[in-house]
Amino acid sequence: MSTIKKNKMSLTTQIVIASVSALVLGAIIGKPMENIQFIGTIWLRLIQMSIIVLVMTSVAGAIGSIEGAGAGKLSFHTFKYIITFTFFSAFLGLALGLLIQPGVGINVAGAVETGTTDLASVSIIDTIVNFVPTNIFAAMSNGATVQAIVFSLIFGLAAGKYAQASGRDEIILFIKDVNGVILKIIEMVMKLAPIGIFALLGGVAGTTGFAVIMPMIKFLLALLIADVIMFLVYVPITAARVGVNPFKMPKKFAKMSIMALTTTSSAVCLPTKMEDSVKKFGVSQKVADFTGPITMTMNSSGAVACYVIAILFMAQSTGTVLTTVEMLTGVLLAAMMTMGTIVVPGGSVVVYTFFASALGLPIESIAILIGIDWFAGMFRTIMNVDIDVLIGMLVSKDLNEFDYDVYNDTKKIQDQFA
């Protein structure tokens, strides 16, 4: 039995094989491949049906848990840097998406509007007003995801305060239990991912042939450029603020960066990131213990840039023109999603589906994004992990707990993680 489990092909490998097979067969067979696209549409709908509840329980549960534990200077300094880096990265993704236009050059056939949008087209003021729901149940039934998030933020905050005042946390536990059940549903649906992706991507390739590959390359190129710019901006700024030599950082980042590229998982990199933060970068143990887990779940600068570029990709590949208000809303949603961090199996599929539903975009182009998601994950994760350490350095500096001797390699810390 253990041998079977050991040799079992991972879901990621299955998705990569399905994507490559769909591209090749779609280009060879042509338009008849469109006949299987409905299978992929059903698979996407199985994910869509859980989105609202997943988002609401994830956000409310996270906010409810943070409330109370989030007081004090340590939290303030941590969150101010998380918010700053997140929004800079989001707008960087927007700029690169508009400049490189990764979705241009492909016309996704058979695109069908999701039929749900939270955005008003009249004015910015009307749009902002419409972020607040008048009836949360109506918002849920209409798929008004922005309104659902606003309610969840308020509900989570109130639930946290109630738990503190009453000493009872059953409501927060209930929210997390519902979230756990939804995650199980998505986990079951994700087992069908290779079939769904093959059907969706095969239909796209059947219409466009190998021309579909160029937008994939442009999308990954945009992510690479975003990573380079972030590194060139964040490292010097952090070094100047802390007062250290920035040229020492690349070598110190090497180990965790390699792990990030090969595992594409911030969670897997967490122990290494926390250890290196203390032993190589001079972050204090207290700060590393707090910022390490918090930034893993709430600071996703690489992911937010990727998600904003993905929103523009979906719009461009389906011929959808986004207004300025809609693009800014996309930036806000991407930031909220990464800072709320919905950790699910195949999480990017859920996030992309969420954006399509929230912004009224056709969902067919999601297949292309999923097909290259493993490669995109490399670019997302390396920035997520490296910037987490920069935040730890900045917080340590603000609290006067930064160890310059450790950073300058004149002092070694032993057995901190033994």
Q: Looking at residue 114, what is its pLDDT?
A: 40
Q: Tell whether the model's pLDDT for residue 15 goes beyond 80.
A: no
Cα gap 245→242, rounded to integer Å: 9
Return the minimum-mean-pLDDT range out of 146-155, 210-219, 238-247.
210-219
Q: Tell whether the model's pLDDT for residue 111 goes beyond 70.
A: no
Angle of helix 193-208 relative to helix 11-29, nearest 10 degrees, comes to 30
Domain that includes residue 134, residue range: 9-407
214 exposure class (CB count in 10 Å sphere: 0-12, 13-18, 19+)? middle
Query: What's the pLDDT band for 160 if we cut at 50, 70, 90?
Result: confident
* C-alpha neighbours within 13 Å on the C-beta side of residue 118: 33
- Number of structural domains in the chain: 1
Q: Tell whether the model's pLDDT for residue 341 goes beyond 60.
A: no
Q: Is residue 255 one of the residues assigned to a domain?
A: yes
Q: Is residue 4 one of the residues assigned to a domain?
A: no
Q: What is the pLDDT of residues 381-408, one digit of tens each?
A: 888 889 999 999 999 999 898 999 999 9
Contact 170, 76 (CB under 8 A): no
| Mean pLDDT across 99-109 | 77
Single-letter code of the amino acid located at 65 = S
Pick the more confident residue, 302 or 411.
Answer: 302
Q: Looking at residue 117, what is its pLDDT?
A: 43
Q: Is residue 339 one of the residues assigned to a domain?
A: yes
Q: Is residue 1 one of the residues assigned to a domain?
A: no
Q: Is residue 3 one of the residues assigned to a domain?
A: no
Query: What's the pLDDT band for 223 if we cut at 50, 70, 90?
Result: very high
Q: Is residue 352 one of the residues assigned to a domain?
A: yes
Q: What is the pLDDT of residues 193-209, one digit of tens each?
A: 888 878 877 877 776 66
Helices (H) and strands (E) in the chain, counts: 19, 0
Q: Is residue 20 one of the residues assigned to a domain?
A: yes
Phi, psi of 117 (to 5 degrees): -145, 145
Q: Tell whether the model's pLDDT for residue 109 goes beyond 60.
A: no
Cα gap 184→194, rounded to integer Å: 18
Q: Is residue 313 one of the residues assigned to a domain?
A: yes
Nearest one of 283, 93, 60 to 176, comparing CA atoms:
60
Residue showing tokens 């969902």:
363
Q: Tell whether the model's pLDDT for residue 7 goes beyond 80.
A: no
Contact 22, 197 (CB under 8 A): yes
Q: Tell whether the model's pLDDT for residue 345 goes beyond 80.
A: no
Q: Looking at residue 110, what is its pLDDT?
A: 45
DSSP characters over 327-343? HHHHHHHHHHHHHH---
Q: Tokens at residue 120, please?
A: 């008003």
Q: What is the pLDDT of residues 321-338, one digit of tens each?
A: 888 888 988 898 888 777
Cα gap 155→159, rounded to integer Å: 6
Nearest one of 389, 365, 174, 172 to 266, comparing CA atoms:
389
| Mean pLDDT across 342-363 | 71
CATH number of 87's domain: 1.10.3860
Q: Tell whether the model's pLDDT for residue 34 goes beyond 70.
A: yes
Percentage of the chain surpassing pLDDT 70? Answer: 83
Cα gap 216→213, rounded to integer Å: 5
